[in-house]
Structure 1
Amino acid sequence: MKKLLFVACFICSFFHPVQAQNKLAWKGKKCAVVLTYDDAIDQHLDNAAPLLDSLGLKATFYVTAFSQSVQKRLTDWKKLPLKGHELGNHTLFHPCVGKTPGREWVSNENDLNNYTVQRMENEMRMTNLFLQSLDGKTKRTFAFTCGDMKVADSAFMNGMKKDFVAARAVRNEMHQIAAIDLYNVDCYMVNNNSFEEMKSWVDKATQTNSLLVILFHGVGGGNSLNVTIENHRKILRYIKQKEKEIYVAPMLNVAEHISQWQKANHQ
């Protein structure tokens, strides 16, 4: 009997810290959610930001510095960090690998097949400098355009890690804090999804103590990868209602927290 009790206590002592770590990993909450908006389009200023501000939610806007919206509404983009939102780096010209099915829209000038790693690094650093002129900040996160991570066979982020705290990829996955690669952070991309589908992502993150990064493009238009205004409103309100269980913050804040947690727990 004593032996059985000893074994049971040993098992509990082994698993309890792991369970406790998972439960306490997200500032004492069950999970983390990061709301991200890509490409710097007018609908982010007109449809997304006002709702975020009304709910008191902070998001990351991944800015393509030479987008039409940035060129025409620079003053409006400057206002976002004043409200607590992050301006993330989404390159200068949004280059992607072209000459593949579905990528007919990629011009020769913005085709990563025609880039060098040095050119990519230069444009990323120029975008960081541009964003610093808007918000005065030197810490930044990055989002891979089209999820493309390489120029030819070279992973360009390898030489850029000192320039960024984290980088977001494009895959429908979520992970617990110990398993997150800060330079390859997974996300769930919204592509005309229903509220119920997006809600299931939030519920899964809560149940599994994971990080959920949601990627929006169009919000009520502006991009074929769209979310309706109604479903966008519903999912943000749902996240706000569960804020006692969910750590909601921009990518930079969450990434810094992950980095500190992983170092403290020797990950």
Structure 2
Amino acid sequence: MQLLPKLTLLALLAGNSPTIAQTISWNNKQCAVVLTYDDAIDVDLDNVVPALDSAKFRGTFYLIGSSPVVTKRLTEWRAAARRGHELGNHALFHPCDGSLPGRSFVQPDHDLHTYTVGRAVDEIRANNTLLAAIDGKTARTFAYPCGDLQIGGVKFYDQLKTDFVAARGVSPGLQTAVQVDLANIDSYMINGESGQYLIDLVKKAQASHTLLVFLFHGVGGGHGLNVALPAHRQLLRYLNAHEKEIWVAPMVEVAEKIRAAQQRGAVGK
């Protein structure tokens, strides 16, 4: 049986730490951090994968199946998956609800507002087939394009719960394992924030013994939503320096751990 770290036991005795079951949910560490990268863009392979590999971290890359970066760089995505990075599902065409404010970028052919639930489900499952052909895996997670959850008031992911381990949303928040909604996991979307801001979020997760999910798009360019390379490097350096206290893993692994704990009813509040 694996023993809890001495500091964790002391904290439990002092009454200022989560229950033992909660701590086990994060692999006996203070918190869990998941690094996710959306949209299958060149900087994922040019900047992010080398940085994560160098730090010996594994991230989750949410791939749009129709992205030309998937088609042109298939071998590199397959190699990344072999090194333990998760290739997550970000739908085949990244449909977003064009009826919402600020959605002038949505093309009519891929306007979620005009989709049926069946069409959305079919396209997402088709993307799963593509991803399995790349990495040979059946367990993965989903990320809602634009964070849109519904079509005509219907939550389309309800028909996909057996296809995925979990789904990542876009609402910010830090949650204990028992609080996590595996159908809509909270995440912090990063756009221009400093490295210190990223580190401060990690420190909050450590103090509260919670799950922290980062949602990145561009890293060092390549997207309208971007984080500077130095800021991203600063975050990775901090995570590396505190690897004994912070569990960094792909979303699918963290979600599987949470799901198992929730099913056991062993996660304390």
TM-score, structure 2 length as denominator?
A: 0.91
* Residue-by-residue CA offset, 1:15-51 (whole Å, 9 max, x unaligned): 7995333333311100000000000000000000001
Structure number, greater radius of gyration: 1
Matched, 1:136 2:132: no
Cα shift at 1:99:
3.5
In structure 2, distance between residues paired with 1:35 and 1:137: 20
Q: Which residue does 1:64 correspond to in 2?
A: 64
Unaligned runs of 5+ in 2: 1-11
2:165/2:256 contact within 8 Å kept: yes
Give unmatched runs, 5+ long, in structure 1. Answer: 1-11
Q: How does 1:178-197 map to 2 (within 5 A)?
A: 178-197=178-197
User: Between Structure 1 and Structure 2, which shows a larger proportion of strand residues?
Assistant: 1
Q: Is the 8 A contact 1:24 1:30 kept in 2?
A: no
Q: Residue type matched to 1:55 in 2? A: A
User: Equivalents in 1 of 2:80, 2:95: separation in Å?
Assistant: 24
Q: Deviations over 1:158-179 (max 9, x none)?
A: 1110001100000111101111
The 5 Å alignment of 1:87-106 reads 87-106=87-106
User: 1:266 deviation in Å?
Assistant: 5.2
In the alignment, is residue 19 of structure 1 matched against residue 19 of structure 2? Answer: yes
- 1:174-218, Cα deviation, whole Å (9 max, x unpaired): 101111111110001101111111111100000000000001000
User: Which residue does the alignment assign to 2:211?
Assistant: 211
Letter in 2 for 1:19: T
AA partner of residue 128 (structure 1): N
TM-superposed CA distance for 1:239, in Å, is 1.0
- Structure 1 distance, partners of 2:198, 2:262, is 28
> 1:84 and 1:261 mapped to 2: Cα distance?
23
Deviates more, 1:102-111 or 1:38-47: 102-111
For 1:113 and 1:158, the matched residues in 2 are separated by: 17
Residue in 2 aligned with 1:31? 31
SS at match of 2:130: helix
C-alpha distance in 2 between matches for 1:32 and 1:176: 10
Give the structure 1 partner of residue 117 of structure 2.
117
For the residue of structure 2 that corresponds to 1:221, the secondary structure is coil
Letter in 2 for 1:183: A
Q: For 2:180 and 2:30, how far apart are their aligned partners in 1?
A: 16
- Please list the CA deviations of residues 209-255 of structure 1 after superposition, one character each: whole Å capped at 9, or x if unmatched: 00000010001111111001111111111111111001111001000
Q: Quick one: distance in 1 between partners of 2:21 and 2:43? A: 39
Q: Does 1:145 align with 2:145?
A: yes
Are residues 221 and 255 of structure 1, via their aligned partners in 2, closer, same or farther at CA, if it must alter by over 3 Å? same
CA distance in structure 2 between the partners assigned to 1:162 and 1:144 by the alignment: 16
Counterpart check, 1:83 vs 2:83:
yes
CA contact (8 A) 2:21 2:266 kept: no
Deviations 1:110-143 (A, max 9, x none): 1001100000010010000000000111111100
CA distance in 2, matches of 1:55, 1:201: 19
After superposition, the CA RMSD in angstroms is 1.7
Aligned residue in 1 for 2:156: 156
Provide the TM-score with structure 1 as the length reference. Answer: 0.92
The size of the alignment, in residue pairs, is 255
Identical-pair percentage:
47
1:108 equivalent in alignment to 2:102: no
| Cα distance in 2 between the residues matched to 1:17 and 1:41 | 40
CA 1:17/1:227 → structure 2, altered by over 3 Å: closer, same or farther?
A: closer
Cα distance in 2 for partners of 1:128, 1:24 equals 31
Q: 1:211 to 1:17 in 2, by over 3 A?
A: closer
Secondary structure at 2:88's aligned position in 1?
strand
- Write the distance in 1 (CA, Å) between the matches of 2:221 and 2:17: 46
1:167 aligns with 167
Contact 2:64 2:94 in 1 (8 A): yes
